[in-house]
Structure 1
Amino acid sequence: MPANRRHPPNRQLAWERLQRGWSYEELCERIRAAMNAAAETDTGLTANTVRRWETGERWPDPRYRKHLVTIFGKPASELGLLTPDELAMRPVAEVVNEIRRLLNMIAAEGIDRSTFLRGLFGVGVLAPLLNEGGDRLPALLDGRRGVDAESAEAFARVVDQQAALYWTSPATEIFEASMAHTRLGMSLLRTAPAGPVKQTVAEAAARSALLSGRAAFFDLDEPVTAARLFQTALSATKECGDHPLAATVLAHAAFVPGFAGHRSAAMGLLDAAFAHAWHGVGPLTRAWLHCVASEIAARCGEPKECMRHIDRADRTVEGTGDDPHWLDFFERARLDGFAGYSALTAGNHAEAAHRLRLALEHLGPNGGKQRSVLLADLAAAKAPADVDQAADHLRQAVEALEDTWYVVGHDRVRRTLGALPRGAATEALGERLVELDRTKRPELIP
Structure 2
Amino acid sequence: MTSSRRPPNRDLAWERLQRGWSHDEVARRVSIEMDRAGETYTGLTANTVRRWETGERHPEPRYRKHLVTVFGKPASELGLLTPDELKMRPEPRTGKQGDMAADAGSGPDWDRAAVLRALLGTSALPLLSPLLSVTSIEGEEPAGSAAVDPEAYAKIANGQRELYWSSPARLLFEASFAHTHLGVTLVRGARGTRRTALATGLVQSALLAGRLAFFDLSQPAVAARCYEVALTASKEAGDHALAATVLGHMAFIPGFSQDPDSARNLIAAALQHCWHGVQPIVRSWLHAVSSEIEARGGAAASSRHKIDLAEASLPDQPGDLPWFDFYDAGRLDCFAGYAALATGDHPEAARRLASAADRLGADGSKQRSVVLADLAAAHGRDGDRVADFLGQAITALTSDWYATGLERLRATRPLLGDSQHGRHLDEQIKALPRAS
With normalisation by structure 2, the TM-score equals 0.89
- The total of aligned residue pairs comes to 409
| Cα shift at 1:403 | 1.2
Residue matched to 1:160 = 158
C-alpha distance 104-202 of structure 1, shift in aligned 2 (>3 A)? closer
> Where does residue 128 of structure 1 map in the other structure?
none
**C-alpha displacement at 1:24, in angstroms?**
0.3
Q: Deviations over 1:69-104 (max 9, x none)?
A: 1111111111111122211111x3x63577855799
Query: In the alignment, which residue of structure 2 is the partner of 1:122?
Result: none
* 2:261 is the counterpart of 1:264: yes
1:117 paired residue number = 139
Q: Partners in 2 of 1:103 and 1:48 — Cα distance?
A: 38
Query: 1:232-381 alignment to 2 at 5 Å?
Result: 232-318=229-315, 322-381=319-378
Distance 2:15 2:166 in 1: 36
> Is the Cα contact below 8 Å between 1:284 and 1:323 reproduced in 2?
no
Alpha carbons of 1:99 and 1:55: their partners in 2 closer, same or farther (altered >3 Å)?
farther
Q: Distance in 1 between matches of 2:284 and 2:21?
A: 21
**2:344 alignment partner, SS class:** coil
Give the TM-score normalised by structure 1: 0.87
User: Taking structure 1 as reference, are residues 147 and 45 closer, same or farther at Cα in structure 2, changes over 3 Å only?
Assistant: farther
Q: Deviations over 1:366-422 (max 9, x none)?
A: 1000001001100100112x2211211111111111111111111111221222233
Check if 1:188 corresponds to 2:186.
Answer: yes
Deviation at 1:343, TM superposition (A): 0.1
Structure 1 alignment gaps of length 5 or more: 119-140
Q: Report if aligned partners of 2:244, 2:273 keep a CA contact under 8 Å in 1.
A: yes
Q: What is the CA–CA distance in structure 2 between the aligned matches of 1:70 and 1:187, rounded to whole Å?
A: 31
Aligned to 2:46: 47
Output the amino acid matched with 1:183: H
> Partner of 1:400 in structure 2?
396
Partners of 2:327 and 2:373 lie apart in 1 by 19
1:213 correspondence with 2:205: no
In structure 2, relative to structure 1, the CA distance for the partners of 1:331 and 1:390 (3 Å cut) is same
Which has the larger Rg? 1
Query: What does residue 419 of structure 1 align with?
Result: 415
Shift of 1:115: 3.2
Cα deviations across residues 198-245 of structure 1 (Å, max 9, x unaligned)?
A: 111111101111100000001111111111111111000011111111
Report the identity percentage: 50
In the alignment, what sits opposite 2:223? 226
Which of 401, 421, 425 in structure 2 is aligned with 1:429?
425
Amino acid at match of 1:364: G
Amino acid at match of 1:116: E
Once residues 356 and 378 of structure 1 are traced to their aligned partners in structure 2, the CA distance between those partners, rounded to angstroms, is 6
Contact 1:209/1:229, CA 8 A, preserved across alignment = yes
- For 2:79, give the aligned amino acid: G
In structure 2, what is the Cα distance between the partners aligned to 1:317 and 1:398?
Answer: 31
Separation of aligned partners in 2, 1:62 and 1:403 = 61
Seen in structure 2, the aligned counterparts of structure 1 residues 98 and 74 have a Cα distance that, compared at 3 Å, is farther
SS state at 1:367 partner: helix
Q: Distance in 1 between matches of 2:216 and 2:51?
A: 44
SS in 1 for 2:65: helix
**Equivalent position amino acid for 2:24 in 1:** E
Letter in 1 for 2:201: A
Structure 2 vs 1, CA of residues 231 and 430 (structure 1 numbering), >3 Å: closer, same or farther? same
Q: Secondary structure at 2:232's aligned position in 1?
A: helix
Unaligned runs of 5+ in 2: 99-110, 121-131
Q: Deviations for 1:157-211, whole angstroms, at most 9, x for unmatched residues?
A: 10000000011111110000000000111111111111x2111111110111110
Q: Please name the residue that 1:144 is paired with.
A: 144
Checking the alignment, whether the CA contact within 8 Å between 1:282 and 1:321 is kept in structure 2 is no
Q: How many angstroms apart in 2 are the aligned matches of 1:5 and 1:243?
A: 28
The CA distance in 2 between the partners of 1:372 and 1:113, in whole Å, is 38
In structure 2, distance between residues paired with 1:115 and 1:328: 34
1:409 aligned partner = 405
CA distance in 2, matches of 1:117, 1:330: 41
State the 1:5 CA deviation.
Answer: 8.1
1:387 matches 2:420: no
SS at match of 2:44: coil
Which residue in 1 is equivalent to 2:73? 74
